Amino acid sequence: MILRGNYIRDLLSGDARSDVTVHGWVKTRRDSKDVCFVQLNDGSCPADLQVVISPANFDADLLRRVTTGACIRVNGQLASSPAAGQALELQAMEVKVIGEADPATYPLQKKGHTMEFLRDIGHLRTRSNTFGSVFRVRTSLAQAIHSFFHEEGFLYVHTPIITASDCEGAGAMFGVSTLDMLNVPRVNEGAQRGQVDFGQDFFGKPAYLTVSGQLEAEIFALAFTNVYTFGPTFRAENSNTPRHLAEFWMIEPEMAFCDLQDDMFFAEKFLKAIIARVMDECASDLEFFNKRIDNSVLQTLENVVNSVFEHITYTEAIALLEKSGQTWEFPVSWGSDLQSEHERYLTEQVFKKPVIVVDYPREIKAFYMRANDDGKTVRAMDVLAPRIGEIIGGSQREERHDVLLNRITEQGLDPASYWWYLELRKYGSAPHAGFGLGFERLMLYLTGMKNIRDVIPFPRTPGTAEF
């Protein structure tokens, strides 16, 4: 195996030396009169290692097999390179072809491919420059998130992927069942007669893939104070958009003894810390995105890290939008939800930095958000960012048992399904708050990539579950 110190990344940031062995996949090969240049990449960094081969010293048949896509091992001397653009190159002494790649059929050629085409070759797109950078940034971001919470003393909760409560209310759910779809058992008697008998199913009742870990995270916050979840979530929404996946990852911190103010400041601190860390750790990948994908990436990220987020109420936001003189696709009025165009106007035109909007109308927000005394709004907060709009959605939770019970009934929900959620408000309840952040949405933000299918290793969307 390749150990630290021997990745191409490590070699390129070190000194010249002899007897170096590298393994990797050939990006390109260029032949001139008596020298052959191979660009080799092992996924450790955006830069390729230039391997210099003198054909005179090698078997011609062996060299013919060193083609784009082939996997090779090279031993040689790492020397300073006379060419511009790189400090070091590897002068080959031994070359071994580990795995050939027939150039006539290898799908990944040097010329730029469309993202759509690359999606169709999900098993090979990982070797392209763009996806190399995407997945290095993804790793760095995930690590940054875990480190941040760990350093803040948070407990990491693994909330369940399969859930039997259909009460999360965040979106359409995928069913999980072992019933024979061709021979579904039916209820024989009573009011449920003729309906599917889930009593015979694996869990004895209908079960689903989770859409959020928040409600379970709240259980843990009321025992461990500060907790977070970071795991896969699923939504069977048939929305084929560049921003929606059927399977995506979500980060949901939940904090006891935390009000909406604390929640806002913590969200800001969190975003700044993780972005700064990725900027530090993946500087050359982010430069790649800035150059090739979206030239505002670095500037927007610096702006997030260096600005003090603006705080406004929903009511103030509506007033700003109403007097903006803009024509909106979605009309603005008090009581309607903010759309992406409104969020972008506020962050890009009015404040030119991230904005946290608080106190949304209760009708457009979830039942668990804490009611304000005005009877009209709830303690919700959304963090809006330039270029993308909403990036974090959070709230202070309703910790008063009777108020929560009222909200549940008012929204036409069945209190019986929420028995444990309600009991948490009966036994040692405490003010608490949290937020949710879609990991892939944040990835879009960091990379400037335009389609959410291109920031997750294996996208699941309506009609697509290949690889």
Binding site for ligand ATP (CB under 6 A): 170-171, 235, 237, 243-245, 248, 250, 390, 393, 436, 438, 440-441, 452
Least distance between ligand ATP and beta carbon 29 (Å): 39
Token pair listed for 389: 């709009």
* Three-state helix/strand/coil letters over 50-119: EEEECHHHCCHHHHHCCCCCCEEEEEEEEEECCCCCCCEEEEEEEEEEEECCCCCCCCCCCCCCCHHHHH
CB-nearer residue toward ligand ATP: 248 or 367 = 248
Least distance between ligand ATP and beta carbon 361 (Å): 15
CB-nearer residue toward ligand ATP: 338 or 424 = 338
CB-nearer residue toward ligand ATP: 42 or 390 = 390
Token pair listed for 49: 């290692």
CB-nearer residue toward ligand ATP: 288 or 368 = 368
Query: Measured over all CA atoms, what is the biggest interatomic distance in the chain, rounded to whole angstroms?
Result: 87
Least distance between ligand ATP and beta carbon 456 (Å): 9
Q: Compute the Cα dihedral for 405, 411, 415, 421 and give only its sign.
A: negative
- Calculate the alpha carbon distances from 337 to 191, 314, 340, 359, 390 in Å: 39, 9, 10, 12, 12
CB 83, CB 50: distance < 8 Å = yes
Least distance between ligand ATP and beta carbon 280 (Å): 24
Least distance between ligand ATP and beta carbon 211 (Å): 7
Query: How many Å is the Cα radius of gyration of the chain?
Result: 27
CB 441, CB 388: distance < 8 Å = yes
Q: What is the dihedral of CA 451, 453, 457, 463, to 10 degrees?
A: -170
- Say if strands 310-313 and 355-361 run parallel, antiparallel, or are unpaired: parallel
Please give the Cα distance from 376 to 361 (Å, whole number): 6
CB-nearer residue toward ligand ATP: 235 or 362 = 235
Least distance between ligand ATP and beta carbon 107 (Å): 28
CB-nearer residue toward ligand ATP: 169 or 206 = 169
End-to-end, the C-alpha distance of the chain in Å comes to 25
CB-nearer residue toward ligand ATP: 408 or 442 = 442
Q: Which residues of 14-33 are buried (b: 16+ CB within 10 A; e: fewer)?
A: eeeeeebebbbbbbebeeee
Name the residue among 254, 258, 247 with its Cα closest to residue 213.
Answer: 254
Least distance between ligand ATP and beta carbon 4 (Å): 33
Least distance between ligand ATP and beta carbon 183 (Å): 33
CB 103, CB 87: distance < 8 Å = no
Please give the Cα distance from 147 to 442 (Å, whole number): 17
CB-nearer residue toward ligand ATP: 256 or 437 = 437
CB-nearer residue toward ligand ATP: 103 or 169 = 169
Token pair listed for 369: 């958000």
CB 299, CB 416: distance < 8 Å = no
448 half-sphere exposure, CB direction, 13 A CA radius? 19
Least distance between ligand ATP and beta carbon 247 (Å): 8
CB-nearer residue toward ligand ATP: 122 or 171 = 171
Least distance between ligand ATP and beta carbon 438 (Å): 2
Please give the Cα distance from 390 to 183 (Å, whole number): 45
Least distance between ligand ATP and beta carbon 293 (Å): 19
Please give the Cα distance from 108 to 129 (Å, whole number): 11
CB-nearer residue toward ligand ATP: 174 or 203 = 174
- The residue of the chain with the least Cβ separation from ligand ATP equals 438
